[in-house]
Amino acid sequence: MSAIPSHRRIFGNELKYVEEVLATEFRSSEGSKFMRRLEQAFAEKFKSPYAISFVNGTATMHAALEAKGIGPGDEVIVPPLTMSATTFAVLQTGATPIFADVDADTFQIDPKSIEERITPRTRAIITVALYGLSPDMNPIMALADQHRLFVIEDNAQCFLGLYDGKIAGTIGHCASFSFQSSKHITSGEGGMIITADLELAEGIRKVQSLGYAGVSATKGKITKRDIQDPDYSRHVTMGWNYRMPELCCAVALAQLENIDALVQARVDAAMKFEQAARTCDWLVPQKTPSNCTNSYWTWVAKLTRDDISWHQFRDRFTELGGHGVYAAWKLTYLEPMFVNMNLLRRECFIAPEVKEQYAPGLCPVAESIQPRLLQFKTNYWDEADAQKQADILARTISSFS
pLDDT at res. 393:
98
Cα 65 to its chain centre, rounded Å, is 15
Closest CA to 126 of 93, 175, 165: 175
Instruction: Give the domain CATH number at 324.
Output: 3.90.1150.10
Q: Are residues 24 and 167 in the same domain?
A: yes
Q: 339 and 243 in one domain?
A: no
Distance of alpha carbon 149 from alpha carbon 121, whole angstroms: 10
Assess whether 105 and 60 both reside in one domain: yes
Last residue of a domain, one of 258, 282, 298: 258
Q: Are 290 and 165 in contact (CB under 8 A)?
A: no
Cα angle vertex 58, ends 56, 63, to 5°?
Answer: 100
14 in the same domain as 134:
yes
Residue pair 194/51 in contact (Cβ under 8 Å)? The answer is: yes
Q: Which helix (H) or strand (E) holds 273?
A: helix 259-276
- For residue range 141-169, list pLDDT tens digits in order: 999 999 999 999 999 999 999 999 999 99
Together in a domain, 247 and 270: no
Q: List, for residues 306-350, the tens digit of each pLDDT value.
A: 999 999 999 999 999 999 999 999 999 999 999 999 999 999 999
> Would strands 298-303 and 373-377 be described as parallel, antiparallel, or unpaired?
antiparallel
User: What is the spatial distance between Cα 174 and Cα 201, in angstroms, rounded to a whole number?
Assistant: 9
Same domain, 297 and 321: yes
Phi and psi torsions of 42, nearest 5°: -65, -45
Domain count within the chain: 2
Which of 258, 275, 300 is the endpoint of a domain? 258
In tens, the pLDDT along 52-71 reads 999 999 999 999 999 999 99
Interval 2-11: pLDDT, tens:
568 778 999 9
| Positions marked catalytic | 183
Please, which residues have CB within 8 angstroms of residue 250's CB and are 6 or more apart in sequence? Answer: 14, 17, 18, 20, 21, 34, 38, 187
Closest by Cα among 66, 173, 185 to 126: 173
| 116 and 43 fall within a common domain | yes
CA distance 325 to 48: 35
User: Are the CB atoms for 154 and 59 separated by under 8 Å?
Assistant: no
| CA dist list (Å): 78 to 35, 75, 333 | 30, 10, 11
Q: How far apart are the C-alpha atoms of 170 and 193, rounded to whole Å?
A: 11
134 pLDDT tier (thresholds 50, 70, 90): very high
Residue 1 pLDDT level (bands cut at 50, 70, 90):
very low
**DSSP at 329:** P
Same domain, yes or no, for 75 and 201? Answer: yes
Q: Of 293, 224, 287, 272, give the one whose Cα is nearest residue 382.
A: 272
Q: Which 8-state DSSP code applies to residue 230?
A: T
Q: What confidence tens digit (pLDDT) does each residue in 79-101 have?
A: 999 999 999 999 999 999 999 99
Q: Are residues 249 and 109 in the same domain?
A: yes
Could you tell me the CATH number of the domain that includes residue 134? 3.40.640.10
| The pLDDT of residue 220 | 87
Q: How does the average pLDDT of the chain come out, rounded?
A: 96
Distance CA(73)–CA(150), nearest Å, equals 16
Domain edge (last residue) among 242, 258, 274: 258
Asked if residue 265 and residue 135 are part of one domain, the reply reads no
* pLDDT band, residue 222 (cuts 50/70/90): confident
pLDDT digits (tens, 9 = 90+) for 113-127: 999 999 999 999 999
Tell me: do 57 and 85 sit in the same domain.
Answer: yes
**Is-contact 162 168, C-beta < 8 A?**
yes
Q: Alpha-carbon distance 179 to 186, whole Å?
A: 4
Closest CA to 44 of 250, 266, 253, 295: 253
Q: Is the pLDDT of residue 17 over 60?
A: yes
CA gap 82, 154 in Å, rounded: 10
User: pLDDT tier at 233 (50, 70, 90 boundaries)?
Assistant: confident
Question: Is the C-alpha dihedral spanning 350, 355, 360, 365 positive or negative?
Answer: negative
Q: Are residues 306 and 248 in the same domain?
A: no
Kindly list the distances between the CA atom of residue 218 and the CA atoms of 50, 77, 204, 327, in Å, as whole numbers in the listed order: 7, 30, 11, 39
Percent of the chain surpassing pLDDT 90: 92
Domain containing residue 248: 5-258
CA pair distance 328, 367, nearest whole angstrom: 11
Share of residues in the chain with pLDDT > 70 (%): 99
- Cα 59 from Cα 79, distance rounded (Å): 18
Under the banding of pLDDT at 50, 70 and 90, the label for residue 35 is: very high
Q: How high is the pLDDT of residue 2?
A: 53
Tell me if 114 sits within 8 A of 276, measured CB to CB.
no
